[in-house]
Structure 1
Amino acid sequence: MFSENFEQIESLLTNLAIAGLFLLIGLAIQDVLKRGDVPKFGRWAVWLVLFLGMAGFVAKGIIQFIIESNLH
């Protein structure tokens, strides 16, 4: 069973690792913004850019899943 589903397990673990990295990046950015006393507009801009990057990653995953499911 493991060898049959190795690619799916690898893909899932890779996506979870990247999601964990996004979480750690978010926590680091929050800490830097608090310690740097950044104005509210700057905070919004930083979080917007981080969210758009994460949304792009999620969209890529969804598109890749749809394309791969249509091929098989």
Structure 2
Amino acid sequence: VLQAENIHKAKYIVYTNLNRSGNIIIPKSEYEIKTAVENYEKYLDWILLDIEEELKQKLPDSRNLHSVTNEIFLKLNLVRY
């Protein structure tokens, strides 16, 4: 079990550990950590919106867009907290 000093550092550790390498280099600057996490989350949000727009166009009667996008993220090993 690993405890982080703040939410941004915790998210940074989770997001960078997704590749399962076991080695994580954490920046010393809190600003760099926060910026990296925010940029990554913006990128994931953009991907989600793009997927949802495509699904709405291709499957206009689809009701489970949220569960479909969750499944896509799971298959791609992507996490958004």
Scaled by the length of structure 1, the TM-score of the pair is: 0.51
Superposition RMSD on alpha carbons, in Å?
2.8
The answer to whether the aligner puts 1:22 opposite 2:47 as a matched pair is no
Give the fraction of aligned pairs with identical amino acids, expressed as a percent: 18
User: Which gives a bigger RCO, structure 1 or 2 (Cα 8 Å, sep 6+)?
Assistant: 1
| Structure with the higher helix share, 1 or 2 | 1
SS in 2 for 1:28: helix
| Structure 2 gaps, min length 5 | 1-27
Aligned pair in 2 of structure 1 residues 19, 39: CA closer, same or farther (>3 Å)?
Answer: same
Scaled by the length of structure 2, the TM-score of the pair is: 0.47
Other-structure match for 2:21 = none
CA distance in 2, matches of 1:36, 1:51: 19
Aligned residues: 51
